[in-house]
Amino acid sequence: MQSIGQRLEEARNRKGISLREAAEATKIRSDFLGYFEQNKFEYDLPEIYRRGFLKNYARFLQLDPEKIITDYDAQALSQSRTEHKSGSELFGQVEIDTDNVSQTLEDDAGYGYIAPRNGRKTEAMPGDDEAHSNEKTFYLKIGLVFIGTLALVFIIFGLIKAILSSDNSEFESTANTAAAVSPAITTTANSLSSQAEKPAQGNLMTLIASGTVQVTVRQKNDNRVLLNAETMNDGQTLPLTKNGPVDVLFTSGKNIKILYMGEYWSPNGSGAGKFSIP
């Protein structure tokens, strides 16, 4: 009949894993597992933990844990009887009180067993308590991670809201500034409109330069020169009062236009040339 260690080792080999891998899976030290497979159960570990680890290892290897524990108890009892027998051979015949042995086994219940009234022993399974503890720790970690993630999401949303609020404030400030500037623009537009109406009343025209240009203005009815080779620069305006139609001579048609009777007059070409204002 195979020993406990042989059955454990054979079951582990069937799974194709090493002692180290089994230790990682069961959370039991690999040297303890090695002791089990070598049938070495007398190492420095309280009996309650030794039994719990053995039962958990058997369950992991898909062996019957109750059968393993039963065999373990039988082996321990046999070893105890052998030690008592050896002692009786050395020091004489010693009569063993079986009632005391039963009582001793029942007293051991305080260290890992519950002894019902029917005499059958049920293991307290310390390894199961450890498994429950590990499971609680696992769920606690998941809960902490979830709470941390939720807090991070709230922080991110708060930052986004703050940034959007800041952008809206800047937009409102810009809008208010534009509203304040708008009356000034309206006033300027009205002023230009008034200036555009004045030439219609008094034969006024305004030369407007959008670049450097040389301009000559000659009145047609009397050949009078109103402006003689005047050089105008970008943005410069020059009002003239005329009497009747005039000819406007220029060096750069793209840089000159005339405001007259509320309309802008521009040359057809971009270079030097001449055009008439009625």
Q: How far apart are CA 70 and CA 234, in angstroms?
A: 110
The model's pTM: 0.32
Kindly tell me if the per-residue pLDDT of 228 is higher than 90.
yes
pLDDT computed for residue 264 by the predictor:
94
Mean pLDDT of the chain: 77
CATH topology of domain 203-277: Immunoglobulin-like (2.60.40)
Radius of gyration of the chain (CA): 54
Beta bridge partner(s), residue 84: none
pLDDT computed for residue 233 by the predictor:
95
Express each pLDDT in 72-92 by its tens digit.
Answer: 988 888 877 776 665 544 444
Beta-carbon count within 10 A of 115 CB? 16
pLDDT computed for residue 84 by the predictor:
61
| 275 vs 245 pLDDT, higher one | 245
Residue 238 phi, psi (nearest 5): -145, 110
* Architecture of the domain delimited by 4-124: Orthogonal Bundle (1.10)
Kindly tell me if the per-residue pLDDT of 151 is higher than 70.
yes
Express each pLDDT in 11-59 by its tens digit.
Answer: 999 999 999 999 999 999 999 999 999 988 887 788 899 899 999 999 9
Give 107's pLDDT tier (boundaries 50, 70, 90): very low
Give 100's pLDDT tier (boundaries 50, 70, 90): very low
Give 2's pLDDT tier (boundaries 50, 70, 90): confident
Integer distance in angstroms from the first to the last C-alpha of the chain? 131
Give 169's pLDDT tier (boundaries 50, 70, 90): low
Average pLDDT over residues 207-234: 93
pLDDT computed for residue 93 by the predictor:
46
Q: Whose structure tokens read 């039991």?
A: 28
Please state whether beta strands 246-250 and 256-260 pair in parallel, antiparallel, or not at all (unpaired).
Answer: unpaired
Give 130's pLDDT tier (boundaries 50, 70, 90): low
Kindly tell me if the per-residue pLDDT of 115 is higher than 50.
no
Structure tokens at 62: 């898909």
pLDDT computed for residue 119 by the predictor:
42
Find the helix or strand (DSSP H, E) in which 98 lies: helix 98-107
Residue 263 phi, psi (nearest 5): -125, 155
Express each pLDDT in 171-212 by its tens digit.
Answer: 465 556 544 544 544 444 455 454 544 444 458 999 899 999
